[in-house]
Copies of this chain bind each other. A is one copy, B any other.
Amino acid sequence: MAVPTADLDSTVTDDAPEAYRGLMEQYRRISHLESGSGVLYWDQQVTMPEGGTAARGKQLAALSATTHEKLTSDAMADALDAAEDAGLGDERAANVREIRRRHERNRSVPESLVEELTEHRSHSQQVWKEAKADDDFAHFAPALETLRDLQVERAEAIAPDRPAYEVMYEDGEPYLPLERLEEIFEELKAGLVPLIEEIEASDADLASPFVAAGPSADDTQRGLSGAVLDLLNYPEDRGRLDVSAHPFTSGNQFDARITTRFKPEDPMDAFTATVHEFGHASYELGLPDDRFGEPLGASLSSGVHESQSRFWENHVARTEPFWEGFVGEANDHLGTDATAREAYEAVNQIYPDNLIRVEADELTYHLHIILRCEIDRALVEGDISVEEVPAVWNEKMDQYLGVTPDTDAEGCLQDIHWSGRFATFQGYTIGSVLAAQLDRAMREALGEDRVDALIHEGDLGPLWEWMTEHVHRHGRRYPTDELVEEATGEPLSAEYFLEYVEEKFGELYDR
């Protein structure tokens, strides 16, 4: 199947106002340098030999310093002023609005700090990898402390009069006020905690046909990932699947790559990771080709990005109709004999005693997130020191999930995020919430039975097309709240997610 792409005219046409063309010429170069950095980042995670770290740090630092220099230059300031006076239509004005936002956010950050931060992140990632492999938090601590100091310095340069954590949060989520997120967190806690308690008290014993079958070889699992990517219409000529320590997606509308990683004891782990990352890629691939390099051709926020991965992971690949259609293929690959119902149960087990975020179920996942956001914030605001992170982590794990990890590798060292940024984890929860709301809107538009039938039949093109039509093709045209309203008719709300999990897990766990 061809990649779904929206059919829009480019905004930089010969008849566009000269001031606009001048601005976009400057901006597109910045944007292309940034997408070049993305390739270097992918390479560092997937293909680079270890010794390359020193050079990669320098390359990425030179790129970030250069884009920063261009984004904050007087030439850019002048071009923005001129473009804003040019009387532009809505789409072009949206491009200018986004460029203005980035210009303003960066102009008071010194270039030397940008360069230092980028270089430090490259170094820090390598140190994190080593520390995780050796279960050695002390090895990672100095890098984390430096990162915290540099990120706080950056946030204070951007907005000296506002809390650093909020400023960092807006890097990923520019259009959803932190207060609104906090309300959503409260709504979720109020709904999820009793639901998890009920499930823990339930006698239901969900099937585990894939784990029961014993270890699966990497090649077997790769075959299964390939099969589901075919079903999802992931285009071979615009993507690739690799293995990395931490699954991720990188790229743009022309080249959106995903990674996964294989756990021998549970093939559903890589399977759901692959579908999750496909969801991220589906967003990139749904951005309009002819807006490449413009804000209108780029993804909006990390929460919206995550809504796409969550939609495919949870609302497609964790549904009963999906397994009614796909279980035969899964059995063929894995040499198992699961029924559709057993497979459906297998991917929907709730494990409050799980330690690892990326392996968490749809309910406890958000407690893993809340824990991280709290530590994040306490670190940034100086309420805890870097040295205290492992102890605080273990304490909160015990408090929220009733388990504590035996090692930091399975605890506070498990995620790559703190080798680069703070205030990023909330994107996962926003994504789950928005995915449920989009799923509801899609089902209302296409028909509940039809969506189930399409998923059952593996005819997934119409679902991707709906998402492209309502989310992807807009790029950064609308702020998040407007996009959510455009797509679903309502502001972002936790209601649909809670409804969805209550219905699904209520049925699975016979409440």
User: Interface of A with B (CB < 8 Å)?
Assistant: 3, 28-29, 32-33, 35-37, 39-40, 43, 47-56, 58-63, 65-66, 235-240, 251-255, 257, 289, 292-293
Residues of B contacting A56 in the complex (Cβ-Cβ under 8 angstroms): 255
A254 to B58, alpha carbons, bound, how many Å? 11
A396 to B: closest C-beta gap in Å: 37
Chain B min CB distance to A64 (Å) = 11
A289 to B52, alpha carbons, bound, how many Å?
Answer: 11
Interface SS majority for chain A: helix
Is the beta-carbon distance between A240 and B54 smaller than 8 angstroms?
A: no
Check A47 against B240 for contact (C-beta < 8 Å): yes
A32-B62, A36-B37, A58-B293 known; 11 other A-B pairs, CB under 8 Å?
A: A28-B58, A35-B55, A36-B36, A36-B62, A49-B236, A49-B238, A49-B257, A50-B237, A51-B254, A54-B292, A56-B255
CA of A65 to CA of B240 in the docked complex: distance in angstroms?
29
Q: Are B51 and A40 in contact, CB atoms less than 8 angstroms apart?
A: no
**A35-B59, A40-B39, A49-B236 known; A66+B29 contact, CB < 8 A:** yes
What are 24 sample pairs from A and B whose C-beta atoms fall under 8 A apart? A3-B51, A29-B65, A32-B58, A32-B63, A33-B59, A33-B63, A33-B66, A36-B37, A36-B40, A39-B59, A40-B40, A47-B47, A49-B237, A49-B238, A49-B255, A50-B237, A52-B251, A54-B254, A55-B253, A55-B254, A55-B255, A55-B292, A58-B292, A66-B66
Residue in A52, A65, A253 whose Cβ sees the most chain B Cβ within 10 Å: A52
A3, A51, A252 — which one has the most chain B CB atoms within 10 A of its CB? A51
**With the chains together, A287 CA to B263 CA distance in Å?**
40
B49 lies within 8 A of A240 (CB) = yes
